[in-house]
Amino acid sequence: MIDLIQTLGSGILVGLVYALLGLCIVIIFKASEAFNFAIGEFLILGSFLFYVLFFNESLPWHRALPLGVLIFLFFSYVLFFDIDLNFLIAVPLGIAAGLLIFCFLFFGLKLPSLITSPLIRFMIALPLGLLAAGIVGSMVERLTIKPLLGRSPISMTIVSLGLGFFLRGCIQLIWGSHSYSFFLDLPDITIEIGDLLYLSDPIWAGILSLLTFGLVIVFLFRTRWGLAIRATSEDQSKAMAFGINARFILMIVWAISALCIAVAGIMISNFGALQVGMSYVGLRAIPVVLIGGMDSIGGALVGGIIVGICEALAGSYIEPMGLVGFKEVAPYLLLLIVLFIRPYGLFGTVRIERV
């Protein structure tokens, strides 16, 4: 019995991280009906942005400068074209943003020397890292997704495939392809009762994933921006008729998605190390969203937990029976069963197409 509780608990903790990955896919799918195959690369990118801030990893000038220039161009563009600010205000603000990013990347944030407590350092670096991930997410949307608006969602999905390769190349160019040690040193909250043992890092991962999930739900269902996002998700043209800037909303959705993926990436990196090759972890989101339903936020949570538990049970009970490696296959087997019974996933909207 203790074994079962241990397995279920471990599965749920990892499952919560998967749920967050699923959420990132779902919100993009709801807003644009596209599947973001670059999720793994966003995961690594978000983790690296956090890494730079938390561990004070600076970049040489020839890598920091192009990134600063990119930020300047992006901010100037968004402020001028999307927010309709005056050119004389938009450009200086863009320069300021670019300069700030360049300074952060070149000099580092010096957090470790300013703050010794890892928890406080984490609490400062996390929002900044997530903000950076969000900005990158919106930049990517502007450059690759926006030009495809109005076209088939399949185009966006295909673009996301290519985007994944492009982002991976950029990450390798900036940070190289070797592993980076990743120790957050958060307060130890390991739970050990007799034979029951839950390690601190997975517990933190579960808590932070759940918290992020909750915050996104609050944002979507309790704010005006959330309402605009939901309206755009329902019907883009109707939302635009009501005065909602659907293109800007799509950018916000990509930013939120990139931000959530970054949280999952940071937590997973903390289990081991950070490496560009870890992008495969993002693919865990596929069974999650297909089981839960491509357009269901609640489904992503349930799907994530189901996949986490499924992996844990397969690892603890089925693999020892001789079916070595079954843990990797189990979520996909479950996915097949679910799709046979409910083709749109457990909580997905059933679509009836009239021909």
Q: Would you tell me which residues interact with other proteins (CB under 8 A)? A: 3, 6-7, 10, 14, 17, 55-56, 60, 110, 112-113, 172, 176-183, 190, 197, 199, 201-202, 268-269, 271-278, 280-281, 284, 312, 315-316, 319-320, 324-325, 327-328
Residue 237: CB minimum distance to other proteins, A: 40
Closest CA to 331 of 302, 308, 348, 347: 308
75 or 175, CB closer to other proteins? 175
Question: Considering beta carbons, is residue 69 or 283 the nearer one to other proteins?
Answer: 283
**Residue with smaller CB distance to other proteins, 234 or 328:** 328
Which residue, 144 or 179, has its beta carbon nearer to other proteins?
179
Least CB distance to other proteins at residue 162 (A): 18
Q: Shortest approach of other proteins to residue 176 CB, angstroms?
A: 6
Q: How far is the CB of 312 from other proteins (least distance, A)?
A: 6
Our CB check for other proteins shows the closer of 14 and 263 to be 14
- Closest approach, Cβ 170 to other proteins, in A, equals 13
- Name which of 235 and 328 has its Cβ closer to other proteins: 328
In the complex with other proteins, the residue whose CB is nearer, 252 or 276, is 276
C-beta of residue 303 within 8 angstroms of C-beta of residue 19: yes
